[in-house]
Structure 1
Amino acid sequence: MLDAAHRLGARRVVQASSSSVYGGADVRPTPESTPLLPRSPYAVTKLVGEHYARVFAELHGLETVALRYFNVYGPRQRPDAAYAAVIPLFISALRAGTSPQIHGDGHQSRDFAFVSDVVAANLAAATAPAEVCSGRAYNIAGGREQSLVELLAVLQQILGVETEAVHVAPRAGDVRHSSADLSAAAADLGYVPSVSFEDGLARTVEHFVAAGA
C-alpha cells in the first residue's frame, strides 16, 4: 500500500495501527514514548507496519501518520466475526438471555473509543500540518479506563437485564490493562473525544435493537 501510494503521488497515508504495540505497558495512561513490546502476532504486524511507514516517510518524503487505536466500538460492529470485540459479544449475549463470557476475573481494563471519535481522529490526521504530525504515531482512545466488569454493569443497566457473566480461563497474550495518554493527539491533531462511554454504549445498543441483532 505504501509503495502504491508513493508511486501514484499520494501526499499522505494515515495508517491504522493499534494499542497492542505497547504490550503490557507499566505506565498508565500510556504515552507514545512508552517502549513497544508487542505480545501477539497481530501486535507485531502493527508495529512492523509503523516501521514501514516511517521508512517511506524518510526515504521518499511520503507523509505518514500512524494512529494507535485502542478498543474501537460502535454501531454495525458484528458479534459473529472471527475476532469479534467484547462489546458486541456482550450485547448479543445479554439480548439473547445468555451469559456473556469473560476471560479471567473481569477486572482487566480497556480504553474504549467510540467510532465517530475515531473517524474524527482520522480526518484530523489527514489534514494536520505535515511539520507537526508526519512520521509520528498517536494514541486514539476514549480517554477513560473501564474494566470488563464495569462494562457489563453499564450494558445490564441500559438493557434492563441482570444476566451474569460466566468466567473462563484467561487468554494467552491478552494485556491486563490498557489506557491511553491522549495529550499528543490533543496538541497536534486537536483530538478530544466527544462521546462519553455511557452515551456510546447506549447508541450501540440502540443500533443492535433496531437491527434485531
Structure 2
Amino acid sequence: MQKKILITGGAGFIGSNLCDHFIGKGYKVTCLDNFATGHRHNLSQLMEHPNFTLIEGDIRDAETCHRACERQDYVLHQAALGSVPRSINDPVTSNDVNVGGFLNMLVAARDAKVKRFVYAASSSTYGDSKSLPKVEDVIGKPLSPYAITKYVNELYADIFSKTYGMECIGLRYFNVFGRRQDPNGAYAAVIPKFVIQLMKYESPTINGDGDYSRDFTYIDNVIQMNERAMLTEDSKAVNTVYNTAVGDRTTIKDMANLLKEYLSIFDSKIAEVEIQHGPVRVGDVPHSKASIEKATELLSYQPSHDFAAGLKEAVRWYWKNLTEK
C-alpha cells in the first residue's frame, strides 16, 4: 500500500526538495504551506502529479493542521519562520509560528496516529556553547529568540514521545544550502545572497572579519537524513535529535572566495569583485561544526556531498536559473 507523507512548509527551499524526492520514490505527498516564505514556483513541476496534494493553510490554525494530518503515515515538519535577525526584529511572530504552530502540528499528528513525526530542529540550539565539534547532548544558552523557539520544539517533542507514545525525531540542521534557496529578501541566507550579488558585480558584505565558521550542509545531505529518520526501524534511533551536517567547517571568508572562484568559471569578471566587511551581527554563533557520529551510528548516515562539491552544484543551479544578472 502506498505510504503517505505530509510535508509542512513544502513550498519552501528544503520542503520542496523533500516533496520532489518522495514523489520520485512513489509516495503520496501532501504539502501544507501558507506561502509566507515558500513559493508556488517551487511546486510547479508537481502540481499535476497524481500523487501530490497541496493544502494552502497556516500551521497556526489547529483545524488546518488536523485536516492535513488525516490518514497520513508520516509528517516531515519543515514549516517555520527561519532567520535569527527576523526573530530579533519580531519575536512574537517567530514564537507564534515556531512554537504555537509546532504544538498544533504535534497535537494533530498525535490525534491522527501518524507513525512518526520528523521535524526540522536547528544548530542554533547550541547557543553559547563553545565546545567543538557540537555533540547532541551538550548545548549552551540560546542567543536569539529563534534559537529559543527551536529548542522549545525539542522539549515539546520529547514530552509528546514520553506522554503520548509518539515517535519523534529532530534534525538539527546546520546552515543548509543548495538549489531553490531564495536569494532575495531581507532575511536571505548568506550563500544565495552572496551569489546574486556577485552575479550583479556587487560587493558582498561579510559580518565581521570573516573568520566565523559554519558547517555548511548541502540539501542532498538533508534529504538523506529526513529519509533515514523517517524509515529507521531501530527503536534506539527514535525519540532523539541528530545533527544534520557534514562534520566539517568553513570560514565565511573562505566560503565567499570559493563562491567567486566557482562563479568565475561562468563569468570571469566576477573574480574582480571585492568582498567588504561590516560589523558582527547580533545573535551570531562564532563557530559551528557538528559531530555526525550519532547519525552515522544510529541512522547509517553518510554525507553524499562535502561543502565544495555541494557549492559547485549550487552555483551551477543558480547560474542556470537566475537569468537576471
In the TM superposition, residue 127 of structure 1 has moved relative to its aligned partner by 1.0
Are residues 1:56 and 2:166 paired? no
Structure 2 counterpart of 1:98, one-letter code:
E
**Runs of 5+ unmatched residues, structure 2:** 1-104, 265-270
Q: Conserved in 2, the CA contact under 8 Å of 1:78 and 1:88?
A: yes
Normalised by the length of structure 1, the TM-score is 0.97
In the TM superposition, residue 144 of structure 1 has moved relative to its aligned partner by 1.4
1:29–1:5 Cα change, 3 Å: same
Paired position in structure 2 for 1:150: 254
In the TM superposition, residue 130 of structure 1 has moved relative to its aligned partner by 4.8
Which residue, out of 306, 309, 312, partners 1:196?
Answer: 306
What is the alpha-carbon distance in structure 2 between the residues aligned to residue 162 and residue 33 of structure 1?
44
Normalised by the length of structure 2, the TM-score is 0.64
Paired position in structure 2 for 1:179: 289
Give 3-state SS (helix, strand or coil) of 2:305's partner. Answer: coil
Are residues 1:5 and 2:115 paired? no
The answer to which structure, 1 or 2, has the higher relative contact order (CA under 8 A, 6+ apart) is: 1
- CA deviation vs aligned residue, 1:4-60 (integer Å, no higher than 9, x gap): 001011011001000000013211111001134211000000000111100110011
For residues 74-113 of structure 1, the aligned pairs below 5 Å read: 74-113=178-217
What is the alpha-carbon distance in structure 1 between the residues aligned to residue 138 and residue 272 of structure 2?
39
In the TM superposition, residue 156 of structure 1 has moved relative to its aligned partner by 1.1
RMSD: 1.1
Give 3-state SS (helix, strand or coil) of 2:286's partner. Answer: coil
What is the alpha-carbon distance in structure 2 between the residues aligned to residue 35 and residue 74 of structure 1?
27
What is the alpha-carbon distance in structure 1 between the residues aligned to residue 316 and residue 163 of structure 2?
47
Give 3-state SS (helix, strand or coil) of 1:13's partner. Answer: strand
Percent identity, please. Answer: 40
Paired position in structure 2 for 1:66: 170
Paired position in structure 2 for 1:123: 227
Structure 2 counterpart of 1:102, one-letter code:
I
What is the alpha-carbon distance in structure 2 between the residues aligned to residue 58 and residue 90 of structure 1?
43
In the TM superposition, residue 70 of structure 1 has moved relative to its aligned partner by 0.5
Which residue, out of 276, 282, 295, partners 1:166?
Answer: 276
What is the alpha-carbon distance in structure 2 between the residues aligned to residue 166 and residue 192 of structure 1?
36
Q: Conserved in 2, the CA contact under 8 Å of 1:24 and 1:177?
A: no
Structure 2 counterpart of 1:193, one-letter code:
P
Give 3-state SS (helix, strand or coil) of 1:56's partner. Answer: helix
Q: Conserved in 1, the CA contact under 8 Å of 2:217 and 2:306?
A: no
- CA deviation vs aligned residue, 1:63-116 (integer Å, no higher than 9, x gap): 000000000000111111342111001111111101011111111000011001
Q: Conserved in 2, the CA contact under 8 Å of 1:63 and 1:130?
A: no
Structure 2 counterpart of 1:170, one-letter code:
V
- CA deviation vs aligned residue, 1:160-195 (integer Å, no higher than 9, x gap): 223121111111111100000000010011111111
Structure 1 counterpart of 2:253, one-letter code:
V
Paired position in structure 1 for 2:318: 208
Q: Conserved in 2, the CA contact under 8 Å of 1:40 and 1:173?
A: yes
Q: After the TM superposition, which of the residue ranges 162-171 and 9-18 deviates more from structure 2?
A: 162-171
Are residues 1:140 and 2:240 paired? no
- CA deviation vs aligned residue, 1:102-144 (integer Å, no higher than 9, x gap): 1111110000110011000000000112511222010011221
